[in-house]
Structure 1
Amino acid sequence: MLVAAAVCPCPPLLVPEVAAGAAPELDAARDACADAVGLLAASRPDLLVVVGPAEQGGTFRQGAPGSFAGYGVDVSVSLGRGGPAGASRLPVSLAVGAWLLERAGWADAPVEALAVAEDLETKACVGAGEELAARADRVALLVMGDGSACRTLKAPGYLDERAAGFDEIAATALGAADTTTLMGLDEGLARELKAAGRAPWQVLAGAGRDAGLAGRLLHEDAPYGVGYFVGVWS
C-alpha cells in the first residue's frame, strides 16, 4: 500500500556540478526536494521505488549506477547502498533521483527504480502504479518528472500558449493528491508540450488511487521555460 510519495523535477541541473555557475538558480528547488525526501523517510516505508521518465521502460535493482559524465562532470551515483556488480545504468531521471537520495543520506528502506517510457499509455501507467503499491505493506514513491517545456520563447520546446494551463492543472492535482485529474492528463497534449512527467505522475495516480493520502505542493517554478514542481503525499 502506498503510504507516502514525493514528487520532484528531474533536470540534471539539480546537480550543482552540472549547473556550475547557474547552480544557485535552483537552490529553492533543491531545498524543497530535500524536504520532500525527508517526508519519505519519516513515513518509514518497507520499500522505496524511484519512478522516472525514460525513452524505454525498465526496472533497476538497488545499487544500480548512474552518471552525469555526459554533461561534462565527473559525478557518479548509486541507487541506494550496495547492490550487484554490472547492474544496468540508470537513465538520467532516475540518476537525479538517486542523487537526491544520496544527498539525503538515504538508508531507511530498500530502494528500487522503475523507468517509465514517456509514451506509455495512461491505462498502462495506472496499472504499473497499482502493482507498485501492492509490492509491500508500506510503499513509498519518489516520482521524478518535469512539466511542460514550452513556457517561454527560450524554452526547449519554444513558447506554446497551452503550456501554462497544462502546468497549472498538473501542479494543482499534484498538490491535492488528485488522482482522477492526474489520470485524465491528455497524453497527446503532454507529448506536444514535452511534459516528461505525465507518465510518472499517472503511475503515481495508480498507486495512490485508493490510498486516501493528502497532498501538498512545496515548490512551483518554471526556470528555463520548463515547469518544475515539488510536492508530497502523506
Structure 2
Amino acid sequence: MIVRAAVVPYPPLLVPELVVADVPEVAGVRRACVAAARRLAAGSRRWIAVAPGFGEVAGDAVGTFAGFGADVAVRLNEDTEGDLDPDLPLPVLIAGWLREQAGVRDVSIQLVPPGATSEQCRALGGHLADSSNDPIGLLVLGDGSPKHGERAPGRPDARAGEFDNTVQKALRDADAAALLALDPELAADLGAEGRPAWQVLAGLPGEWRCVTSELMVPFGVAYHVAVWDPVQP
C-alpha cells in the first residue's frame, strides 16, 4: 500500500562530495530533495523507487559515485552489504543516497524504460500500489528538461518552459490526468527523462493531494520536487 509519494530529481550535485564549491543554487536543490525524502520516510521506512532505465537492480546492491568524481558508497538496504556494483545507474545511486539521508531501512528499484507508453506507466503505478499490504513510500526520480535558456547544458529549446511549467502545475494540483497527458515524444525531444516515472505516479489509484511542490531551474535544467499524500475518506 502506497502511503505517500515524493518526486525528486537525480543530479549528482545532490551529493556534497561531488560539488567543489558551496553554490547556493545547488544547496537549495539538495535541501528540497532531502526534505522531501524525510517527509517520505515519516510515512514508511520501506520505499519503492521508480526511475527511468532498463533491467533489474538487486535489493542488496551497493554502488559508488566514483564514476562521478568521489568514491561515496551507497546501499539500498541498511541490513546488507552486498557486492559492489560499479555500474549502478545514477538514479539508483541517488535513491540509495536519499535512503541514507532519510534513515529508511530499504529501497527497492523499479526501472521504467524511457520509451514506455503513458498507459504502460499508468498500469505500473496501479500494480505497485497493490504489491504489498505494508505501508510503502513511493520515491519518484525524474529530471525535467535540460534545455532552459542560455545556461542550458545543450541547445536551448523554447518549448522547455511551457513543458516544465505544465509538469509543475500537475504536480502541485496532484492532477494525474495532466501527468498522463504529457506527450512522450515531446518529453524525449526536450530531454525530460522524468516523464515515465511521473506517469507511474499518476497511475496510483485513489485521490491524492499535494503537500509541497517546487520547480527549480539552476544551470538551465528543470528539477521538480513534490510530495503527495492520499486524501483520506
TM value normalised by structure 2: 0.90
Alignment deviations for residues 40-78 of structure 1 (CA, whole Å, 9 cap, x no partner): 122236x41011122xx2333432122211112111111
Q: 1:94 to 1:130 in 2, by over 3 A?
A: same
Note the C-alpha offset of 1:84: 7.0
d(CA) in 2 for partners of 1:32, 1:85: 30
d(CA) in 1 for partners of 2:197, 2:191: 14
Alignment check: 8 A CA contact 2:63 2:75 kept: yes
Matched with 1:193 is 190
AA matched with 1:128: L
Matched with 2:12 is 12
Please point out which of 209, 212, 215 is paired with 1:214: 209
Note the C-alpha offset of 1:216: 3.3
Alignment deviations for residues 121-162 of structure 1 (CA, whole Å, 9 cap, x no partner): 222211221111111123320111111111023312321110
Q: 1:71 to 1:23 in 2, by over 3 A?
A: farther
Matched with 2:51 is 52
Note the C-alpha offset of 1:17: 1.3
SS in 1 for 2:19: helix
Equivalence map 1:80-99=2 (5 Å):
80-83=77-80, 85-86=82-83, 89-99=87-97
After superposition, the CA RMSD in angstroms is 1.9
Matched with 2:29 is 29
Aligned length: 227
> Which ranges of structure 1 fall in alignment gaps of 5 or more residues?
none
Note the C-alpha offset of 1:23: 4.8
SS in 1 for 2:6: strand
Alignment check: 8 A CA contact 2:41 2:102 kept: no
Matched with 2:166 is 169
Matched with 1:124 is 120
TM value normalised by structure 1: 0.89
Alignment deviations for residues 87-139 of structure 1 (CA, whole Å, 9 cap, x no partner): 755310121121111122223xx421112222222222112211111111233
1:232 has 2:227 as partner? yes
SS in 1 for 2:38: helix
> Which ranges of structure 2 fall in alignment gaps of 5 or more residues?
none
Matched with 1:113 is 109
d(CA) in 1 for partners of 2:127, 2:84: 23
Note the C-alpha offset of 1:25: 2.6
Alignment check: 8 A CA contact 1:62 1:82 kept: no
Matched with 2:138 is 141
